[in-house]
Structure 1
Amino acid sequence: MAPKITVIGSLNMDLTATSAKRPAAGETILGERFETFPGGKGANQAVAAARLGADVTMIGMIGQDPFGDELTQVLKREGIRTEHIGRADTSSGVAVIQVVDGDNSITVIPGANFQLKSAYIEAKRKIIEESDIVLIQLEIPLETVAAAAACCKEADIPYILNPAPAQSLPREIIDQAAYMTPNESEAAILFDDTDKALREYANKLVITKGEAGVIHSGGHVPAFPVQPVDTTGAGDTFNAALGLKLASGIPLDEACRYANAAAALQIGSHGAQAGMPTHEEVIAFMRQNGQNPL
């Protein structure tokens, strides 16, 4: 039976501009390409988990605009349950993404995502209780994250906290998480000493380091060598794959190997969701790279 994953988080429309360099302050440059892609860290993780074979439910908020309609339809086409996505009397969230040499910088305008309130999470408690694992990020209000964390704790449901965009967090949110997945810069904001944090949060803190792979208290899990096209959504793919494997009872080190493979495949395409792989593609990729997947 497929693991039941509930994603609590954002839905955005990504507005992506690709150029040879980033403009300096006051500078106008000619870009190479402009595209729109459905995104938002919550929706990205939901799509990635569904592609990998999970039974996914999305809890979030969209606005009263065509972007909201499109974002919902995209999730439906992926087989994701969307009946728990609310509609706020505002615009949907958008992310403005600048891609240069395969790397990206992102400005997020939250819109309806910041109308996802604690009371809405409380009303969805039954959905959380029926989950095998919950994925949460920080593109929604912090009090909503705290409410979701509390619901998970009370229901004894593990949740993965992907602390992005980076910000300081109350200790109880960190303590209640079953797993935390910051990248290097996010970890530096959360913890004064990441080596100490890895010891303190053994088997819980997973720090992603891009092409250098992943570190956790059990050691280092190398990345797969690939040429990046667009890193947007790589972290979301990693989190979804990690959640899928952990919900299936796979040990953390092996779950990280699988998640690294999924993220490596994802960064080979433009757009956060477009290149998210299936489980079969991840398995084939791991075998091609001499790995024996679980």
Structure 2
Amino acid sequence: MTSSQLGSLAVVGSINVDLTASVARLPGAGETVLGGTLQRLPGGKGANQAAAAARLGGRVRMIGAVGDDSDGQWMLQSLRDAGVDTADVWLGESATGTALITVDAAGENQIVVCPGANADVSLDGVSFSPDEAVLAQLEIPFEIVTALADVAGFLAINAAPARPLPDSLVRRADLIIVNENEFALLPELTGARLVAVTYGADGAALRRHGREVARVSAPRVSVVSSVGAGDAFCAAITLALHAGWADDEALRAASAVGADAVTHAEAQPPLRTLHSYR
């Protein structure tokens, strides 16, 4: 694959309905904050990353699960509208997953996820091409993520929400993506093959076998919401590195994509093709 082409990507992960309350400030423990506005939008880390990757120009399919309900049909149609192949999304017995999100005026957020049908994600009957990248997160059963080590070609893991990772998975992954807080919670990543670490407004870095090999600053933008920024970054860095882009070029483009994402309220924002962020 040449650096002018973006390859195929299979995203294995969560699909949720996002119920987002926008408020002036986040509530403290036991506190009620009035004056919020409520939005109901497509979400889930897996679906967010799949939608972003498709809008960036990748050939993307989604592997996940939704409920056999109206929300599930809505999520499937939303993914298709973004250009994602949904043939491998299961209809689970539980209701479609839901995320309860609060976002303040500075774009900071608090999130509670009710997994629902995401607990039903399965790889039964799913096959992967050797030249297809696979991107997974940790909002689905962990045994599904670890099983990818035996079937995926290029394997990227967004280790969020953070949880301990077995050495076998850390050694197997071609790319692990975390934010600075997750990186601090996962000391096992020190010796990983390649780790992308995001630092919010301070940019991002790539670390290869524990040594920093690239670092970029983040473009300065007006922040509306940071909910979808990390997922957009994950999609971009996976597509770019799988396509053979140089470390600094891939990191710079992914950081620009993440910065673009925070200027939108939704977790699945409109994005340009990845090449336009280079």
For the pair 1:209 / 2:199, whether they are aligned, the reply is yes
The letter for the 2-side match of 1:50 is A
The letter for the 2-side match of 1:224 is P
For the pair 1:13 / 2:51, whether they are aligned, the reply is no
SS state at 1:71 partner: helix
- C-alpha deviation, 1:133, in angstroms: 0.9
**TM-score when scaled to structure 2?**
0.92
Match of 1:145 in 2: 145
| Maintained 8 Å contact 1:237/1:276 | no
d(CA) in 1 for partners of 2:238 and 2:205? 16
| Maintained 8 Å contact 1:265/1:276 | no
Q: Which residue, 221, 224, 229 being the options, matches 1:226?
A: 221
| Maintained 8 Å contact 2:205/2:251 | no
d(CA) in 2 for partners of 1:81 and 1:71? 12
d(CA) in 2 for partners of 1:28 and 1:66? 31
Q: Which residue, 107, 113, 120 being the options, matches 2:112?
A: 107
Higher strand share: 2
- C-alpha deviation, 1:130, in angstroms: 5.2
- C-alpha deviation, 1:160, in angstroms: 1.0
SS state at 1:121 partner: coil
Structure 2 regions of 5+ residues with no counterpart? 207-211
Would the alpha carbon gap of residues 238 and 220 (structure 1) be closer, same or farther in structure 2, given more than 3 Å must change? same
- C-alpha deviation, 1:50, in angstroms: 0.4
Match of 2:178 in 1: 182
Q: How does 1:1-294 map to 2 (within 5 A)?
A: 2-100=6-104, 101-116=106-121, 120-125=122-127, 128-129=128-129, 131-152=131-152, 157-191=153-187, 197=190, 200-201=191-192, 204-216=194-206, 217-273=212-268, 275-279=269-273, 283=276, 286=277, 293=278
Match of 2:209 in 1: none
Higher helix share: 1
The letter for the 1-side match of 2:113 is V
d(CA) in 2 for partners of 1:267 and 1:246? 22
CA RMSD across the alignment: 1.6
The letter for the 1-side match of 2:184 is A
Question: Comparing 22-31 with 57-66, which one deviates more in the overlay?
Answer: 22-31
d(CA) in 1 for partners of 2:35 and 2:242? 42
State the number of aligned residues. 268
**TM-score when scaled to structure 1?**
0.87
| Maintained 8 Å contact 1:5/1:131 | no
Match of 1:289 in 2: none
| Maintained 8 Å contact 1:6/1:131 | no
| Deviation readout 1:3-38 (Å, 9 max, x if unpaired) | 111100010000000111222333322133100110
Would the alpha carbon gap of residues 236 and 244 (structure 1) be closer, same or farther in structure 2, given more than 3 Å must change? same
